[in-house]
Amino acid sequence: MSKYSVIGKRVHRVDGPEKVTGSAKYTFDIVLHNMLYGKILRSPYPHARIVNIDTSQAERLIGVKAVVTGKDTLGRKQSTWRRFPELCDEEILCRTKVRYIGDPVAAVAAIDEDTAEEALDLIEVEYELLPAVFDPMEAIKEEAPQIHEGVELNINVTRHIEWGDVDEAFKQCDYIREDHFKCSSQAHVCMETHCAVASFGYDSKLTIWTSTQSSYYIQALVADMLGLREGDVRVIKPHTGGGFGSKFELDSAQFCASLLSMKLCQPVKIVLSREEEFTATKRRTPMYYSVKLGAKKDGTMLAKEVRVITEGGAYTGMGATALYLTGFFSSFPYKYPNYRYDGYRAYTNTAPASAMRGFGAPQSTFVGESQIDMLAEDLGIDPIEIRRKNGMTPDYEVPGQAHIQSCGLHQCLDKIDEHIKERGELPPNRGIGVSAYGFMSGGIFNWFDTPYAFSAAIVRINIDGKVDLFTGACDIGQGSDTTLSMICAEELGVHLDDIRIHAADTGICPADLGAWGSRETLMNGNAVKMAAADAKRQLLEFAAAKLGANIVYDMDIKDQWVHMVDRPERGLSYFDIVKDTIRGRDGETIIGRGHYTPHRKGMISPAYSFGVQAAEVEVDTETGKYKLINVTTAHESGTVINPVGIEGQLEGAVMMAGGYGFCEDQPMDEGKILNPSIADYKLIRSLDMPETKILEVDTYEPEGPFGAKEAGEGLTNPTAGAIGNAVYKAVGVRINDLPITPEKVLKALKEKKQQAE
Amino acid sequence: MSYHCPVCNKVSSSAMDLARHMIGRGDKVHRDWISSKGFKYSEFLTLQFKSFGGEGYKTLAKILEKETKVED
Amino acid sequence: MKKELRFTVNGQPYELYIKPKTILVEVLRAHLGLTGTKRGCDSSSCGACTVILNGMAVKSCSVLALQANGGEVLTVEGLAKGNELHPLQKAFLDHGAFQCGFCTSGMLMSSKALLDENPNPTKEQIKEGIDGNICRCTGYNSIIRALTGVVKGEYKEEK
């Protein structure tokens, strides 16, 4: 029998019944009385000075209630990097200059969307065009136009990581190779576009319902941008239609709706169109990689040097973190004794590039896993073997950076090795590629400069035993409401349906940094567990007295039974104890509190998950087209809290990360994204979706709640690399720039044939 | 032994680390100090973009080694 | 000039006056308050707005409401009978065939239309049946498993 009664069970999601009946309300569905609809006017030019904006005609249109421009703002600039003022570079409503096609210049509130749309056409903006630069390799040249004042060579951020003596180590290597890679952009394509309903009232308080990954960040940033007190801004996250990294920065819908509502004291709703979603929200950061890798003859990797220049787009966003993480995860999941990373983020006149699921690690994993396969081939070593030889192990110290406690990489390698052997001899033009990865369970970063704990939770027990769980964690679809309810139920010793979760409403929930960096299960999970334990302790104090238990006995609650651990038959009903405790405390409510901030866990994350993936492809050598046949993943994420949730994360990651390797791309012409619609932006649909197989490896993470760690973003890391390696195994061509399209494969096949002739 | 940033006094354990800090900050005051020594900030960066081996930082580190070392 | 629209939605007859260019999804969401049907793209590419019109799955962002005149529409709200869920809804719950849930209504309606037309689809036919619906979260395979469960008779409709 499992030692847990809730954790690890296949349960229905707590938001399931609402979602399968269409009754779940999203921001997109919210309609308030007297509500207006907003639209945003955006720059058609990649780089231009705003000479004048004439809104008078638009204001005269019947049905238009207000038009705002940068002049109506406090002129502040923001980003989530609040600790670093020079990185707070985004005004949202531009006052003097636009920096990409899609930069907002004005916003309208009207009685309906059609009227607001019509009003946008009546706003006259006079621009003075400026020379623009789109390619980061051009942007860093002396002669390139300067995108932000005072930023030389358009270098927005640099990041450096180094340990060991890299130069000396390369001298010891028997074999060194240098390679160059290009990682493309990717759109998040959340099914619910960015949207917000803002309502500022005559009580001078602002309420925002919004599709977000962090209600706390939005609360703090909106308050700062609009000159309000944080406590007067309440951000509520209803059900949210996906985030994937695109929704934890302040966006134009949230800001413009709030600004308009403040001006009118009327609710304003703004929903971005799908085209705006593609062109004017942030996207995955494109990266140019140069990598030097050195090894001994036996495959021991001695040194790695990585140089990255990223296409930052017009603003910082979360791009600075992506730049750092791609550098750190370029060393994963291997024990490089000597490592150097220099990363540069260049401003360009393109849509800002920022966070997307994996946060820089899908790029570094594609690059790293492609190159290690090349190295293995050069040295005549099996790809699994070279990964075994260098792979991280439990209790490994990444020099000066991080301490890895649990790590099941080697078991994952064994499982994938078995899987490949089971597949046996493959037909011609088929190949299996392998890719290994690791990822963090939440970041130990406080660029936001929050004074609060990273996560917090409150547990309140009602007289009938029903538990209210309050947390700032944001369920954006990944299932944190369910996972956290399960953790709460397990710790408190009650059933899942005894828990009612109230999440991501800053008016009633404690602050939490939100859903990014795969942090909720570990960080919020720890806070919830602590809060539940605090509430439980209050019940146990009473129960011990009531039972007259000898103080040497430990008390606990399991399955709604309050009992002595060593004599489980001696106990009382949870429901009776709740009633008695409240009565015995003069009616005082039972409230448990918990919080979590990682301490002494290095600079990056309190815990890391690992895995190995094998992708099998079949290539048509006539056309270059290839089919994803099967993607099998051996992974470990510590104790599995919510198995249905993990399956969903894994299979969903194959769709998204497979798309990154296979077909998703955002081609541009002079800063204009050429495929801003779902018809033109190619995603993996059901017919292209490969078979997926999951091979679980058991580990236990001491830092995580009940031993759990990350299972969200890490799974996005390996697939592009695995596909690249599979294509190589199948037909012997290596594609170094993503996505690996049929055109590139065909071209490479032709070149290979020509060389052979 | 430590190295103190001549602009903002940030303490680094090596001249190389300090070079990274100075180029990394990249704001006007740090760039001005580099210019005052007769070098160009952008040249160091361009050196970095071009090759492996951290040549840009090494060049600046040589200057910092002389100018900013503090014996503890 | 507004025009009269008479149709049945989830068994309930309606009589409305609408602008001729109004699309079906707008009537369902804004006029009738049936917000279970979502909009993801407005170009009939994502399938979030799928409803069943006269037995056929249609993308309600690309159908004029007046095209439904005299017709019968079934939306996600019409799947459950009171508090008794439809077999597809039960299967979606068991298999975790949704995450953010924004595509789910459309996915359920495409699935229902598929099974109404062909109660015993092969796996390939299931994939074809939902190929017009994008799900950014699940990777489709759990949805395919849910449908397979229904096809196998694991989820009986209560009589």
Residue ranges of the domains in chain A? Answer: 16-23+454-596, 31-130+191-242+247-280, 357-444+606-756
Shortest alpha-carbon distance between residue B8 and chain A (Å): 15
Do C71 and C96 lie in one domain? The reply is no
Quick one: CATH architecture of A16-23+454-596? 2-Layer Sandwich (3.30)
Do C55 and C95 lie in one domain? The reply is no
Contact C137, A645 (CB under 8 A): no
Contact A480, A527 (CB under 8 A): no
Do C102 and C71 lie in one domain? The reply is no
Task: Give residue-wise pLDDT tens across range A66-102.
Answer: 999 999 999 999 999 999 998 999 999 999 999 999 9
Alpha-carbon distance of A182 to C55, in angstroms, equals: 48
Task: Give residue-wise pLDDT tens across range A484-506.
Answer: 999 999 999 999 999 999 999 99
Tokens 């999203």 belong to which residue?
A26
Q: What are phi and psi of A597, to 5 degrees?
A: -140, 130
Over residues A582-609, mean pLDDT: 95
Task: Give residue-wise pLDDT tens across range A143-188.
Answer: 999 999 989 899 999 999 999 999 999 999 999 999 999 999 999 9
Coil, strand, or helix at residue A331? coil
Token pair recorded at residue A302: 């001695």
Do C57 and C118 lie in one domain? The reply is no
Task: Work out the pLDDT band at A550, boundaries 50, 70, 90.
Answer: confident
Lowest mean pLDDT among A302-316, A538-552, B34-48: B34-48
Q: Tell me which residue in B41, B49, B52 faces A344 most closely, judged by beta carbons.
A: B49
A–B interface: beta-carbon pairs under 8 A = 44
CA angle A329, A332, A333 (to 5 degrees): 150
For CA atoms B64, B66, B68, B71, give the dihedral sign. Answer: positive
Shortest alpha-carbon distance between residue B43 and chain A (Å): 9
Chains C and B touch (3+ CB pairs under 8 A): no
CA A597 to chain CA centroid, nearest Å: 19
Per the domain annotation, does C157 fall within a domain? no
Q: How high is the pLDDT of residue A207?
A: 98
For CA atoms A450, A456, A462, A468, give the dihedral sign. Answer: positive
Q: Tell me which residue in C34, C43, C104 faces A679 most closely, judged by beta carbons.
A: C43
Consecutive 10-residue runs of chain C (159 residues): their mean pLDDT? 96 97 97 97 94 98 97 98 96 98 98 98 98 98 98 83
Give contacts of A 29-88 with C, CB under 8 A. Answer: 29
Give chain B's domain count. Answer: 1
B13 near A CB under 8 A: no
The answer to whether A20 contacts C94, with C-beta atoms less than 8 Å apart, is: no
Q: Tell me which residue in A150, A158, A309 faces B28 most closely, judged by beta carbons.
A: A150
Per the domain annotation, does C141 fall within a domain? yes
User: Residue A551, Cβ neighbours under 10 Å: how many?
Assistant: 6
Of the residues C59, C78, C97, the one at which a domain ends: C78
* The model's pTM: 0.96
| Topology adopted by domain A31-130+191-242+247-280 | Aldehyde Oxidoreductase; domain 3 (3.90.1170)
Alpha-carbon distance of A530 to A522, in angstroms, equals: 12
The b-or-e profile of A335-350 (16+ CB within 10 A means b, else e) is bbebbbbbbbbbbbbb
Instruction: Sort out which chain A residues have CB atoms less than 8 A from C92's CB and list them.
Output: 16, 20
A239 Cβ neighbours under 8 A, 6+ residues apart: A15, A18, A19, A24, A25, A26, A475, C100, C101
Kind of pairing, strands A571-573 and A561-564? antiparallel
Do C66 and C128 lie in one domain? The reply is no
Kind of pairing, strands A672-673 and A233-236? unpaired
Alpha-carbon distance of A591 to A534, in angstroms, equals: 8
Domain of residue C10 covers 3-78
Q: What are phi and psi of A92, to 5 degrees?
A: 70, -65
Of the residues C55, C78, C101, the one at which a domain ends: C78
Do C97 and C61 lie in one domain? The reply is no
Task: Work out the pLDDT band at A1, boundaries 50, 70, 90.
Answer: very low
Task: Give residue-wise pLDDT tens across range A367-415.
Answer: 999 999 999 999 999 999 999 999 999 999 999 999 999 999 999 999 9
Exposure of A719 in the CB half-sphere (CA atoms within 13 A): 30
Over residues A205-223, mean pLDDT: 98
Instruction: Sort out which chain C residues have CB atoms less than 8 A from A25's CB and list them.
Output: 35
A149 Cβ neighbours under 8 A, 6+ residues apart: none
C23 Cβ neighbours under 8 A, 6+ residues apart: C60, C61, C62, C63, C64, C65
What number does CATH give the domain A357-444+606-756?
A: 3.30.365.10
Residue A379's alpha-carbon distances to A303, A305, A616, in angstroms, are 16, 19, 23
Per the domain annotation, does C142 fall within a domain? yes
Shortest alpha-carbon distance between residue A20 and chain C (Å): 6
Alpha-carbon distance of A8 to A219, in angstroms, equals: 34
Kind of pairing, strands A691-696 and A626-636? parallel
Per the domain annotation, does C156 fall within a domain? no
Peptide bond into A739 cis (omega under 30): yes
Task: Give residue-wise pLDDT tens across range B27-64.
Answer: 888 989 999 988 888 888 888 888 898 888 998 999 89
**CATH number of the domain that residue C127 is part of:** 1.10.150.120
User: Residue C23, Cβ neighbours under 10 Å: how many?
Assistant: 21
Mean pLDDT of chain A: 97
Q: How high is the pLDDT of residue A2?
A: 66
- Burial classification of residue A711, based on how many CB atoms lie within 10 Å of its CB (0-12 exposed, 13-18 middle, 19 or more buried): buried
Q: Say which amino acid occupies C122.
A: T
Please report the beta strands in A454-517, taking only residues with DSSP state E, as ranges in sequence order. 455-461, 467-471, 499-503
Q: DSSP H helical segments within A380-504, as ranges?
A: 383-390, 409-423, 480-492
Instruction: Sort out which chain C residues have CB atoms less than 8 A from A476's CB and list them.
Output: 100
Tokens 């002739």 belong to which residue?
A757
Q: How high is the pLDDT of residue A552?
A: 87
Among A10, A19, A20, most C C-beta atoms within 10 A, so best to mutate, is: A20
Angle of helix C141-151 relative to helix A643-662, nearest 10 degrees, comes to 120
Task: Work out the pLDDT band at A286, boundaries 50, 70, 90.
Answer: very high
A357-444+606-756 has the same fold as A16-23+454-596? yes
Give chain C's domain count. Answer: 2
Instruction: Sort out which chain A residues have CB atoms less than 8 A from B53's CB and list them.
Output: 167, 305
Q: Tell me which residue in C35, C85, C139 faces A20 most closely, judged by beta carbons.
A: C85
User: Residue A560, Cβ neighbours under 10 Å: how many?
Assistant: 18
**CATH number of the domain that residue C40 is part of:** 3.10.20.30
Contact C155, C103 (CB under 8 A): no
Instruction: Sort out which chain A residues have CB atoms less than 8 A from C104's CB and list them.
Output: 19-20, 22
Token pair recorded at residue A590: 């039972």
Token pair recorded at residue A545: 């007295």
Of the residues C78, C106, C139, the one at which a domain ends: C78
Q: How high is the pLDDT of residue A585?
A: 93
C61 near A CB under 8 A: no
To the nearest whole percent, how much of chain A has pLDDT over 70?
100
The answer to whether C46 contacts A678, with C-beta atoms less than 8 Å apart, is: yes
